[in-house]
Amino acid sequence: MVGLGNPGERYASTRHNIGARVVELLAQRWGERLRKVRFLQADAAEGKLDGHPVWLLRPLSFMNVSGPPVASFARKRKVGVDRMVVIHDEIDLAFGALKLKRGGSTAGHNGLRSLVGSLGDPGFHRIRLGVGRPPGRQDPADYVLQAFAKREREGADLMVETAADAVEALIRDGLPAAQDRFNRGPAA
């Protein structure tokens, strides 16, 4: 489970870091602690869910260069792309929407572009968390680096909780069942 984001307190509550927040929550739920991986720009924890070993990974590099530490970690731990789940923000989904899928394009997401380039394969599972489009003509890069607006914080927290539930369902039940249960638009 790879939670994408940017390192440091400055970015902790931004739209771009919502994937990293999901991995942090999973570590907390499973009683694990993310620790710095030696010789790698990443924090990781090894947990178990219903007897299934699961690695939680949070790259400590900036989003646009998150591919190399993820690829290095996966190679070292012999984790195939088909067994990888990447959790990330998605401006092409309405705020609060959540979608699970496998493979696909990067849709202009620089973190995904870096991952695909480093892994050499876009076939990983994805949990896409809708942060909505930027208002007006605001640059998308500036938009995702902003904190959620006060009125959005409760919805963002709910999305993190739901995404953690979706990860657990994906592990337990597989992609089709998790998609049936969790692929949805924004909460009404």
Catalytic residues: 16
Alpha carbon of 156 to those of 24, 81, 97, 179: distances in Å? 14, 28, 10, 20
- The strand order across the sheet containing 85-90 reads 35-36, 42-49, 52-59, 2-3, 85-90, 125-130, 98-102
CA distances in angstroms from 35 to 14, 49, 53, 120, listed in the order given? 22, 19, 17, 27
Q: Which residues lie across from 87 on neighbouring strands?
A: 3, 127
CB-based burial label for 45 (10 Å; 0-12, 13-18, 19+): buried
